[in-house]
Amino acid sequence: MQSETSARQWDGTLSPNDFNSSVAALCERWKEVNDSLPQWLWVPFPVVGDSSCNAAGYLTMENVYHQNASEEVSHEESILGDEELSDDATLVQSCGKDDMHVYDYHIVYSFNFRVPVLYFRGYRLDGCPLKLEDIEKDLPAYSLKGLRESKWTFMTQEDHPYLRRPWYTLHPCGTSDWMKVLFGSNAANNQPRPLHYLSAWLSVVGQAVGLRIPLGLYKSQ
């Protein structure tokens, strides 16, 4: 696969096969360097009748907790009245920690753009999905700045290609261009190794969505 692209200038994209090896490499490396986030897990979605395409599926990292400081949690009056409890063996909990936000991140290969695409969503502990405004409040300042000023990374809501439900995504239309920029002149003729591609890509999109990528991922491997 290297040979198909190395003949002419590399266009910043990734072939389905390279995506696959990239995913495997990332999962392995992540286990070694990650010290706070959950693990990446590949969920295959085999295409019926097409065994050749093993890039169908998504790489998932779920249950990333975000402590939300600002939000006022409203405790509405229950429409039906609360359950009356008279049981000594049940621990009665104070209403805390409800302001926790949970994020799920999926990396999907886009066969149209030939690049990885990040899909993500956030929800409260009661299952209510977060709106874009809520998500933006969770993002660190540098992410917001990037989202406002860069024309390459911006969030939209689109159907998750495998779950068929609207998730937030960073639109992939600029990805191949900034990937070329990222690898600079030394990549003009040489396609980067698959793991390098996905790590470099993750460094940009991770920053955009406030995901702290372990530095170890970028130390010499």
Partner 1 sequence: MASSSSVVSSYSSSSSDKGSGRILQFDPFQSLVDEGFWHRLSSLKLDSLGLDQSPIPLTGTPLLPSFFSLAFSVCFYAPCSHPKVSNRLTLLAESLPSDFKELQFSLERAHGNRNRCPVPGTLYNMNTFESFKALDRDSLLKKEAKKILDDIHSAKVEEDSAVLSRFFIISFADLKKWNFLHWLAFPALVVGPPAVVLNLRPAREVFNQGEAQSLSAALNEWRNSSLTTGVLYFLVSIASNSRATIRQLKDWKACQDDGQKLLFGFYDPSCRLDNPGWPLRNYLAFISLRCQDGKIQFLCYREKRGFADMGLSLVGEAVISPSKDCRDPQCVPKAVGWEPKPKSINLAESMNPERLAVSAADLNLKLMRWRTLPSLDLGTLSSVRCLLLGAGTLGCQVARMLMAWGVRKITLLDSGLVAMSNPVRQSLYTLDDCLDGGSLKAVAAARTLKRIFPAVEAEGVTLSIPMPGHPVPTNEISRVLEDCERLRDLIASHDVTFLLTDTRESRWLPALLCASENKIAITAALGFDSYLVMRHGAGPLYESDQANSLSTVDGNGGQRLGCYFCGDVVAPIDSTSNRTLDQQCTVTRPGLAPIASALAVELLVGLLHHPNGIHAPGEIANSIMSSSEQPFGILPHQIRGLLPQYSQMTLIGHASNSCTACSTTVVSEFRRRGMEFILQAIDHPTYLEDLTGLTELIESANSFKLDWVDETDDADI
Point out the residues that are catalytic. 173
127 scored as a contact of partner 1 (CB under 8 A):
yes
Segment 52 to 81, residues that bind partner 1, using CB under 8 A: 62-63, 65, 78-80
Cα–Cα distance measured from residue 162 to residue 145, given in angstroms and rounded to the nearest whole number: 31
Residue type, 104: D
Near partner 1 by CB under 8 A, which window of 12-20, 50-58, 90-98, 188-196? 90-98
181 scored as a contact of partner 1 (CB under 8 A):
no
Near partner 1 by CB under 8 A, which window of 1-9, 19-27, 166-174, 183-191? 166-174
Q: What order do you get walking across the sheet with 155-159 strand by strand?
A: 41-44, 57-67, 100-110, 115-124, 166-170, 155-159
Across 129-156, b (16+ Cβ under 10 Å) vs e yields: ebeeebbeebbeeebeebbeeeebbebe
Phi, psi of 123 (to 5 degrees): -150, 160
Q: Which is nearer to partner 1, 165 or 219 (CB)?
A: 165
Q: Which is nearer to partner 1, 64 or 198 (CB)?
A: 64
Query: Is the C-alpha dihedral spanning 171, 177, 180, 182 positive or negative?
Result: negative
Residues in contact with partner 1 by the rule CB under 8 A = 34, 38-39, 41, 62-63, 65, 78-80, 82-83, 85, 87-91, 93, 97, 100, 121, 123, 125-129, 131, 151, 154, 156-158, 163, 165-166, 171, 173-174
